[in-house]
A and B are shown apart, each in its own frame.
Chain A
Amino acid sequence: MSQDLNTAMVEKYRNDFLKEVEEKVEEGEWVRMCMQCGVCSGSCPLGPYWEHPPQEIFMMIRAGKREEVLSSSSMWMCTSCYNCIVRCPRELPITHIMHGLAHYAKRLGLAPKEQPTMKFAQLFWDNLVKQGRVNELKLGLSLYFMNGFSEGVKTALKMAPVGLGMLKTKRMNPMEMVGGHKVKDLKGFHAMLKKAEEIEAAKIEKQEAEA
């Protein structure tokens, strides 16, 4: 579906990527207000590791570089420290725009495939929806095995003393492996998520219909 959506969006906006961002990306309507001062890029603690810092991302959007922006790993690097939002003289919600872009890229299937932040986000979500509560034991383990079985075993062995220490101080309950704690009304919680998914799907469907 995402491939279709991507083609539809390309077809719809042609080379007006700025307009596409404004309409489709959360907080995207702010991109035009950037005055290219570069304070966001300078303030980002991970700035040097980004492929394109926020200032550049905004400029690329205006220059219509759709593929490069959406397939970039840059916005996945954001740790939500909010330094850029605090410092932006034009008061752009830069952190939110980065997340909006990342989300949009994933939806279109353009996000880089092996992006660890994206993978972790998916693990976190899958873990959470099961019981309505995060099962830290399972989340930790799935994180160890995120990149394959042998690496998972190695990491698990390396972390064993930490795990035993947590067991001893009752910071971790081994019983979480089976079942685990959950929200009081699990049925209601799932119903709520289902409804949300329906709303979202309807929205996308509408978008596609418009395209």
Chain B
Amino acid sequence: MADMKIGAYICKGCGLGERLDTDSLENIASREGKADIARQHDFLCSGDGVAMIRKDIDEEGVDHVVIAACSRRAKTDAFRFEDVACSRVNLREGVVWIRPDTEEARETTQEMAEDYVRMGCAEVRHMKVPHPSNEQPRNRHVLVVGGGVSGMTAALEAAKAGYAATIVEKEDRLGGHAAQLWRRIPTRAPYSDPEVPEIDALIAAVEAHPDITVYLNAKLKKTSGAPGRFYADIETADGVVTESFGSIVQASGFKPYDASQLPEFAYGKTPDVVTQLELERMAREADGGPIQRPSDGKAVGKVVFIQCAGQRSDQEGHLPYCSGYCCNASIKQAMYFKNQNPDIDTVIYYTDLRTPGAGGEDFYRSAQDKEVIFSKAVVKEVTPAEGGGLQVRLHDLILDEEAVTDADLVVLATGMVPNSGVNIEALTKPNVEEEGEGEAEAETEATIEVPVESILNLDYRQGPDVPQLVHGFADSHFICFPYETRRTGIYTTGPVRRPMDIAQAVDDATGAAMKAIQEIENAARGRAAHPRSGDLSFPEFRKEGCTQCKRCTVECPFGAINEDEQRYPVFNESRCRRCGTCMGACPVRVISFENYSVDTVGQQIKAVEVPEESEEKPRILVLACENDAYPALDMAAHNGIAYSAFARVIPVRCLGSVNTIWVTDALNSGYDGVVLMGCRKGEDYQCHFVKGSEMAHYRMSKIFDTLQQLGLETERVITHEVAITDIQRAPGLINEMAETIEKIGLSPLKF
């Protein structure tokens, strides 16, 4: 630290010069902030301003830079100095734009700016320039688990981009379920008739590609390592082969829903009730000829399709979700009959017809044109009729009446069940939930009973498969982070991620292949994946201080941390998303990043000048998530929404990185209130790091004991869920805390 040289640069543009006493700020930077060089500039982000900073770095040896100008979210290109540690002081969005331009407000506004300059100087003093780890090489090899349409597409796309791919398929052939189809939903205009699936062509392309290796009848016995250096033990009849990979695409697909759970539709009782997949087999055998009734070989005269069979239902054993493809599939299959013989009656009973995809509506219309009858009804029961045939009892939803119809064949549109392996969260609940209600635990025990074979057999401390999001689908967020699982470098695609048809799976797999390639490149450069894309910093820990409590390994939302034989944490840098949840978890505070640590934030908290009680100026610490809450406050500033001048806002990588020591330190040094702003947690979470906000809320719920020990009111610490759109609300929450303090009085802990 001896040879550190700090340069502080204060901008006077954007009204900062008029509203603030910048000479005083410069003074504070050099006297209190101990900056070796402190300069002001009229327009710091201009070429001239940036050149001034650049010159100091190059000629004066400045290696720590404090830029007191606008928010860290603004002018990122202008103020990009990758060879120095850099701290941004937010005087524009954080001070002048959220304060009224009046004579009375002038003093508190200036104090606010001065504190932020002190904080910036304190932060930069404890920052280091992050260096790439070089922990892993560039491994241009993608492992694709599953050889269906998704898997083959992913492998082909990766290979076309110049990356090798290896497919591990558990069956003895490629193609998956799609290869069993007689025809597929049309992909080309006019979308009026089923098309030949052409899966054979895809298989041939995969087999012919020199950069794609295929293992059939193969399983993953063990997968270990991290992005850039994954090792997979591939088990085949000939033994076990170990290969290394840069990243993994999991395209393990789906299992058809078990229709024997639908006794009301007589499935299993008579061969004349079949699933869609079974009808495909019958159609393949008929190959354009008349499809025969399985029970007696009679040509089918009337066929009934039952949509949502065991789907979109709360009933025990049914799927609660819509599988998305089955309406189109039934339309397609009704055409198998109509195209062969237009006199065959085909009726589709549906409650809501959904035909996704570009040609879905045209396809539906084409079926209507072919006289496929669509009827909005709930089918109650299918019973074998006397003397052959079936009787279908239903409730017509348009005419609101019960009806009975006959059929020779009934086809059930049962859905997809994701093939996502072991539900690791049911196996090992994190501490958080273990201490929760007993009810949840009882439920957990029940789920463990079901034996499921693991897909990846990950050698991760957190369990053998990727975490599931909802209904067993392996994803982390359907909308915001497609393909991203909570295991960095492992991407799910196809129906294991969410229900989809062939066309969607092809698009999906292409996307996943691109993510897999991106991760290979990121890992080679030591850069973080989404959402802190490009971040070079990674967690380090002071082994002497570690108590092997395992909290970091358990709480890491991404399973980045393993344990060694002595139960010390082993950080896998390329698995890490750099959220800092481990840092927030660590009770002995031995985990830190080069440019983000307990000190970089702790010293900022200490740098704030807390006025004496007699001055009646409270201090409110606001720890705001940099992804949602901090931009919301920035946008509030753009909209000229004012908030209390007593607030001091510090952005954090994730609320999960907040170590409780910051809160207790702040309260001990006389802060009157602490506001924490994170993202929405729970089932429909918005946290960029999935579990960070949840962890933070949990930790903060335990802080009340500390407050009571300190003799403080529990209202002084509050945790909020803030969305990026809460532009009015976020400043309001700060003002609420200011009002609370006015009510309960200043902290008794001021010196």
Choose among B374, B399, B403 the residue that contacts A35 (Cβ–Cβ < 8 A). B374
Q: How far is the CB of B221 from chain A (nearest CB, A)?
A: 52
- Which A residues between 1 and 53 are near B, CB-CB below 8 angstroms? 18, 32-33, 35-36
Contact at B399–A59, with CB atoms within 8 Å?
yes
Q: How far is the CB of A58 from chain B (nearest CB, A)?
A: 9
Q: How many B residues, CB 8 Å from partner?
A: 14
Instruction: Enumerate chain B residues within 8 angstroms of A63, measured Cβ to Cβ.
Output: 375, 396, 399, 403
Q: How far is the CB of A211 from chain B (nearest CB, A)?
A: 19
- Contact flag A56-B373 (CB < 8 Å), given A33-B368, A63-B403, A90-B365: no
Q: How far is the CB of A16 from chain B (nearest CB, A)?
A: 9
- Contact flag A56-B399 (CB < 8 Å), given A32-B368, A33-B369, A90-B365: yes
Instruction: Enumerate chain B residues within 8 angstroms of A32, measured Cβ to Cβ.
Output: 368-369, 371, 373
Residue of A nearest to B376 (CB): A36
Q: How far is the CB of A54 from chain B (nearest CB, A)?
A: 11
Residue of A nearest to B399 (CB): A59
Instruction: Enumerate chain B residues within 8 angstroms of A62, measured Cβ to Cβ.
Output: 373, 375
> Which of A62, A63, A90 has the most chain B CB within a 10 Å cutoff?
A63
Q: Is B237 an interface residue (CB 8 A)?
A: no
Instruction: Enumerate chain A residues within 8 angstroms of B371, measured Cβ to Cβ.
Output: 18, 32
Choose among A33, A36, A56, A60 the residue that contacts B365 (Cβ–Cβ < 8 A). A33
Q: Is B364 an interface residue (CB 8 A)?
A: yes
Q: Is A135 an interface residue (CB 8 A)?
A: no
Roughly how many angstroms separate A33 CA and B372 CA in the complex, as a whole number?
Answer: 10
Choose among A35, A55, A59, A60 the residue that contacts B364 (Cβ–Cβ < 8 A). A35
Roughly how many angstroms separate A160 CA and B368 CA in the complex, as a whole number?
Answer: 56
Residue of B nearest to A90 (CB): B365
Proximity string of chain B (598-612) to chain A, C-beta cutoff 8 Å, 1 when within and 0 when not: 000000000000000
> Which of B371, B398, B399 has the most chain A CB within a 10 Å cutoff?
B398
Roughly how many angstroms separate A62 CA and B405 CA in the complex, as a whole number?
Answer: 13
Choose among A18, A33, A55, A90 the residue that contacts B398 (Cβ–Cβ < 8 A). A55
Q: How far is the CB of A36 from chain B (nearest CB, A)?
A: 5
Main secondary structure of the interface of A (DSSP, over half): helix
- Contact flag A59-B369 (CB < 8 Å), given A35-B364, A35-B374, A36-B376: no
Contact at A59–B373, with CB atoms within 8 Å?
no
Q: How far is the CB of A149 from chain B (nearest CB, A)?
A: 42
Instruction: Enumerate chain B residues within 8 angstroms of A33, measured Cβ to Cβ.
Output: 365, 368-369
Instruction: Enumerate chain B residues within 8 angstroms of A35, measured Cβ to Cβ.
Output: 353, 364, 368, 374
Roughly how many angstroms separate A60 CA and B398 CA in the complex, as a whole number?
Answer: 9
Roughly how many angstroms separate A18 CA and B346 CA in the complex, as a whole number?
Answer: 13
Choose among A55, A56, A59 the residue that contacts B375 (Cβ–Cβ < 8 A). A59
- Contact flag A36-B368 (CB < 8 Å), given A18-B373, A63-B403: no
Roughly how many angstroms separate A101 CA and B301 CA in the complex, as a whole number?
Answer: 29
Proximity string of chain B (372-384) to chain A, C-beta cutoff 8 Å, 1 when within and 0 when not: 0111100000000
Contact at B398–A36, with CB atoms within 8 Å?
yes
- Which A residues between 44 and 99 are near B, CB-CB below 8 angstroms? 55-56, 59-60, 62-63, 90
Roughly how many angstroms separate A59 CA and B364 CA in the complex, as a whole number?
Answer: 17
Q: How far is the CB of B376 from chain A (nearest CB, A)?
A: 5
Residue of A nearest to B373 (CB): A62
Contact at B399–A60, with CB atoms within 8 Å?
yes
Contact at A59–B368, with CB atoms within 8 Å?
no
Roughly how many angstroms separate A62 CA and B365 CA in the complex, as a whole number?
Answer: 16
Roughly how many angstroms separate A63 CA and B376 CA in the complex, as a whole number?
Answer: 11
Q: How far is the CB of A199 from chain B (nearest CB, A)?
A: 30
- Which A residues between 149 and 185 are near B, CB-CB below 8 angstroms? none
Q: How far is the CB of B407 from chain A (nearest CB, A)?
A: 14
Roughly how many angstroms separate A32 CA and B346 CA in the complex, as a whole number?
Answer: 13
Instruction: Enumerate chain B residues within 8 angstroms of A59, measured Cβ to Cβ.
Output: 375-376, 396, 398-399
Instruction: Enumerate chain B residues within 8 angstroms of A90, measured Cβ to Cβ.
Output: 365
Instruction: Enumerate chain A residues within 8 angstroms of B364, measured Cβ to Cβ.
Output: 35
Instruction: Enumerate chain A residues within 8 angstroms of B398, measured Cβ to Cβ.
Output: 36, 55-56, 59
Roughly how many angstroms separate A35 CA and B354 CA in the complex, as a whole number?
Answer: 12
Roughly how many angstroms separate A18 CA and B399 CA in the complex, as a whole number?
Answer: 16
Residue of B nearest to A16 (CB): B345
Q: How far is the CB of A137 from chain B (nearest CB, A)?
A: 46
Proximity string of chain B (358-394) to chain A, C-beta cutoff 8 Å, 1 when within and 0 when not: 0000001100110101111000000000000000000
Instruction: Enumerate chain A residues within 8 angstroms of B396, measured Cβ to Cβ.
Output: 59, 63
> Which of B353, B364, B371, B403 has the most chain A CB within a 10 Å cutoff?
B371
Roughly how many angstroms separate A33 CA and B374 CA in the complex, as a whole number?
Answer: 9
> Which of A18, A55, A59 has the most chain B CB within a 10 Å cutoff?
A59
Residue of A nearest to B367 (CB): A32
Instruction: Enumerate chain A residues within 8 angstroms of B368, measured Cβ to Cβ.
Output: 32-33, 35
Residue of A nearest to B396 (CB): A63
> Which of A32, A62, A90 has the most chain B CB within a 10 Å cutoff?
A32
Roughly how many angstroms separate A35 CA and B373 CA in the complex, as a whole number?
Answer: 10
Instruction: Enumerate chain A residues within 8 angstroms of B399, measured Cβ to Cβ.
Output: 56, 59-60, 63
Residue of B nearest to A52 (CB): B399
Residue of B nearest to A60 (CB): B399
Roughly how many angstroms separate A60 CA and B374 CA in the complex, as a whole number?
Answer: 12
Roughly how many angstroms separate A35 CA and B331 CA in the complex, as a whole number?
Answer: 14
Q: How far is the CB of B355 from chain A (nearest CB, A)?
A: 10
Q: How far is the CB of B347 from chain A (nearest CB, A)?
A: 9
Residue of B nearest to A31 (CB): B368
Roughly how many angstroms separate A35 CA and B398 CA in the complex, as a whole number?
Answer: 12
Residue of B nearest to A68 (CB): B399
Q: How far is the CB of B364 from chain A (nearest CB, A)?
A: 7
Roughly how many angstroms separate A184 CA and B152 CA in the complex, as a whole number?
Answer: 81
Residue of A nearest to B365 (CB): A33
Roughly how many angstroms separate A36 CA and B365 CA in the complex, as a whole number?
Answer: 12
Residue of A nearest to B403 (CB): A63
Contact at A36–B403, with CB atoms within 8 Å?
no
Residue of B nearest to A59 (CB): B398
Q: How far is the CB of A97 from chain B (nearest CB, A)?
A: 15
Instruction: Enumerate chain A residues within 8 angstroms of B353, measured Cβ to Cβ.
Output: 35
Residue of B nearest to A62 (CB): B373
Roughly how many angstroms separate A197 CA and B463 CA in the complex, as a whole number?
Answer: 85
Roughly how many angstroms separate A76 CA and B364 CA in the complex, as a whole number?
Answer: 31
Excluding A18-B373, A90-B365, 19 further A-B contacts by CB distance (< 8 Å) are A32-B368, A32-B369, A32-B373, A33-B365, A33-B368, A33-B369, A35-B353, A35-B374, A36-B374, A56-B398, A56-B399, A59-B375, A59-B396, A59-B398, A59-B399, A62-B375, A63-B396, A63-B399, A63-B403
List the 10 closest pairs (A to B, CB-CB), nearest first.
A59-B398, A33-B368, A32-B368, A62-B373, A36-B376, A32-B371, A59-B399, A56-B398, A36-B398, A62-B375
**Can you list 14 A-B pairs with a CB-CB distance of less than 8 A?**
A18-B371, A18-B373, A32-B371, A33-B369, A35-B353, A35-B364, A35-B368, A36-B376, A55-B398, A59-B375, A60-B399, A63-B375, A63-B396, A63-B403
